[in-house]
Homo-oligomer: A and B are copies of this chain.
């Protein structure tokens, strides 16, 4: 199948390629008579002309491609939502996404940047799959947009989830249900999760605004997986004055908390209310009862980043844009059990 070129269209319509180009791109269209325009369009249709973007790109210095460098597309189910958001905006704008997965390898990053630079992509997005503070790799274009990470030195457009607000929303949901002894099942510090500190801050803020004295015994840490959540929750439930609600760092820990509650013969949410974080479909929605949780706005962040990258939206390079994390209300929160003496 031999490709048809603009010259073929021109020949068939009996005009020059310049005319074809103008007509097909709608440039200077007042200067071309309607009849000729018609003729050109028919010819293009007839020969099945498809413009060659490579040639166009060489001339216009625009490729309509955006490079998306990510550290790991593989190991998290979140990746997809971010890609989907970015991808949707790109498509709406007639752009294509070139994806490179570097697996956090500096050398791979350098190569990727090279390749993307060589391909003359119009913009670059640098995405992390966990909310992190990153050392911006050398060679990353000035106007690159950071997605789900903040630049260590500042000075770049970036978007991250508003974890602190998310923490507040989660704990407010529990306070509003009447809880006063609310535990926070946190991730261990060694994981260096930015989200951990921020969600904890949100937790403290709401306790303060509700006039609840934070009890240090209710802030426990564990590995942020189901097993860790189970152990941490068990410790909490062994407390003399045990919590009536738990805010968990993530849904997997919440899953563990469910198991611990079962083990202690407690029912969720009647005896224990639980709120998670992340809204992982496979966990949150499938638990019994379905888990009330805070969603990470991956799709929206992906959109935002692409919109900034394509110049559809302005960004303040000094401070990362905070994307709200919505509460997903399901069935794991209810008022605390009534006790004598209350």
Q: Interface of A with B (CB < 8 Å)?
A: 50-55, 57-58, 63, 65, 68, 72-77, 79-81, 83-84, 87-88, 91, 94, 96-101, 108, 111, 114-120, 225-227, 230, 252, 255, 259, 262, 280, 282-283, 286-288, 299
Contacts and interface: CB of A to CB of B under 8 A. Distances in A.
Could you say how many copies of this chain the assembly holds?
A: 2
12 contacts: A50-B114, A51-B118, A53-B118, A65-B119, A74-B83, A83-B99, A87-B101, A91-B100, A97-B98, A98-B99, A226-B287, A252-B282
Nearest to A95: B115
Contact of A288 (B75, B94, B230): B230
A117 B51 CA distance: 9
Contacts of A282: 77, 252, 280, 282-283
A54 B60 CA distance: 11
A45 to B, nearest CB: 14
Contacts of A99: 68, 83, 87, 97-99
Nearest to A97: B99
A72 to B, nearest CB: 8
B118 A50 contact: yes
A84 B80 contact: no
A101 B76 CA distance: 18
B84 A101 contact: yes
Contacts of A98: 65, 96-99
B84 A74 contact: yes
A330 to B, nearest CB: 13
Contacts of A119: 53-54, 65, 96
A338 B111 CA distance: 60
A97 B100 contact: yes
A113 to B, nearest CB: 10
A66 to B, nearest CB: 10
B83 A120 contact: no
A326 to B, nearest CB: 17
Contacts of A52: 58, 118, 120
Contacts of A72: 80
B54 A73 contact: no
Given A230-B288, A252-B282, A286-B226, A54 B50 contact: no
